[in-house]
């Protein structure tokens, strides 16, 4: 499925590519113009300096082709593969100025995506014996969301909603800005009726057992998000819900307690850390 994510979100990813290149290059690379012939043709290779799950190979090929359709790109390792130090995931050959101009955007994209794919893969492996799906959140870098969420999928996780536009997620502030949770749910029900036959996925955040019991009265809710609950509270909540609605645990989940959270039987675990706390991955593009 290397390009299924790209096909689904092509418009947004192409927009990202265009703007990322424009941000760095604008009217051209002054340094390369000063010292590199416009007719020069050279080659470069990606060098791995930190072991990781490589991610972004398919995207950077599109970055190269967008900037210079004459560039030759040779993929040697696919997205999602574990790579060790001194691995060479791809080779690139073409106009030297083009290779130099796109270098930083290419590396920034690969380093960020590989870091996210790596942490996602590590956490996914911890819970692979449980029937629990690992999800990302909207805690992404502005203007970099689509590559980041693509990296989560490459690493073995799944995407939550892409944004505010593709699902309803009733959170604490929605409730606190209204009179009661019941009021929010009744208003949402009326809104959903107006949208028929279109179906919208609905998640409701519950902070305690009392709120969970209220949500259970609305059969159209697709998932209950158990927010910032202790392990014992999650266990109790899962038992009360009894499989009637999907369950998702979120908040204060990390590599040390994720297994215990999965043991509770929740269907999903969502973690902002997949994107906001991914470690730096050292990669370089070297002439050869």
CA separation for the pair 16, 8 (Å, rounded)? 14
What sign for the dihedral angle of Cα 262, 266, 272, 278?
positive
Residue 85, pLDDT > 80, answer: yes
Q: Rounded to an integer, what is the distance from CA 66 to the centroid of its chain?
A: 23
Among residues 99, 86, 130, which one has the least CA distance to residue 287? Answer: 99
Same domain, 169 and 187: yes
3-state DSSP assignment of residue 170: strand
Same domain, 134 and 262: yes
What CATH number has the domain bearing residue 188? Answer: 3.20.20.70
CA separation for the pair 207, 187 (Å, rounded)? 20
Same domain, 67 and 145: no
Average pLDDT for residues 177-201, to the nearest whole number?
A: 94
Query: What angle in degrees, to the nearest 10, is found between the helix axes of 96-126 and 10-25?
Result: 130
**Out of 17-26, 52-61, 173-182, 203-212, which region has the weakest mean confidence (pLDDT)?**
173-182
pLDDT in tens, 98-128: 999 999 999 999 999 999 999 999 999 999 9
Same domain, 64 and 191: no
Cβ(278)–Cβ(116) under 8 Å?
Answer: yes
Residue 240, pLDDT > 90, answer: yes
Same domain, 114 and 181: no
Give the pLDDT score at 144: 97
Same domain, 265 and 283: no
Same domain, 154 and 93: no
Same domain, 237 and 166: yes
3-state DSSP assignment of residue 5: helix
What CATH number has the domain bearing residue 82? Answer: 3.90.1170.20
CA separation for the pair 252, 255 (Å, rounded)? 10
Same domain, 164 and 102: no
Residue 159, pLDDT > 60, answer: yes
Same domain, 182 and 131: yes
Give the pLDDT score at 179: 84
Domain count, the chain: 2
Residue 15, pLDDT > 80, answer: yes
Q: What is the mean pLDDT of the chain?
A: 96
CA separation for the pair 84, 72 (Å, rounded)? 24
Return the DSSP state at 266.
-
Query: What angle in degrees, to the nearest 10, is found between the helix axes of 96-126 and 57-67?
Result: 160
Same domain, 34 and 112: yes
Dihedral pair phi/psi, residue 28, rounded to 5°:
135, 160
pTM comes to: 0.95
Same domain, 148 and 253: yes
Which domain range does residue 211 map to? 125-276
pLDDT category of residue 193 using cuts at 50, 70 and 90: very high
């Amino acid at each position: 499925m290397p390009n299924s994510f790209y096909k689904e979100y092509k418009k947004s990813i192409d927009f990202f590519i265009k703007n990322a290149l424009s941000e760095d290059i604008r009217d051209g690379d002054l340094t390369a113009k000063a010292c590199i012939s416009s007719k020069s043709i050279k080659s470069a290779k990606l060098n791995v300096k930190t072991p990781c799950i490589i991610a972004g190979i398919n995207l950077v090929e599109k970055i190269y082709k967008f900037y210079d359709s004459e560039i030759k790109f040779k993929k040697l390792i696919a997205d999602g593969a574990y790579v060790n130090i001194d691995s060479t995931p791809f080779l690139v050959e073409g106009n030297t100025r083009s290779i130099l101009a796109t270098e930083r955007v290419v590396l920034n994209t690969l380093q960020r995506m590989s870091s996210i794919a790596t942490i996602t893969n590590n956490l996914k492996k911890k819970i692979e014996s449980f029937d629990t799906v690992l999800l990302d959140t909207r805690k992404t870098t502005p203007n970099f969301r689509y590559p980041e969420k693509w990296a989560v999928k490459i690493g073995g996780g799944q995407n939550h909603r892409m944004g505010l536009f593709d699902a309803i997620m009733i959170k604490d502030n929605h409730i606190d800005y209204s009179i009661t949770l019941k009021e929010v749910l009744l208003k949402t029900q009326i809104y959903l009726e107006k949208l028929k036959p279109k179906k919208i996925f609905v998640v409701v955040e519950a902070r305690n057992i009392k709120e969970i019991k209220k949500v259970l009265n609305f059969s159209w809710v697709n998932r209950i998000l158990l927010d910032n609950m202790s392990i014992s509270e999650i266990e109790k909540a899962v038992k009360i819900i009894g499989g009637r609605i999907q369950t998702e645990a979120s908040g204060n989940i990390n590599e040390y307690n994720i297994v215990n959270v999965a043991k509770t039987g929740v269907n999903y675990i969502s973690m902002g850390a997949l994107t906001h706390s991914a470690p730096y991955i050292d990669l370089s593009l070297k002439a050869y």
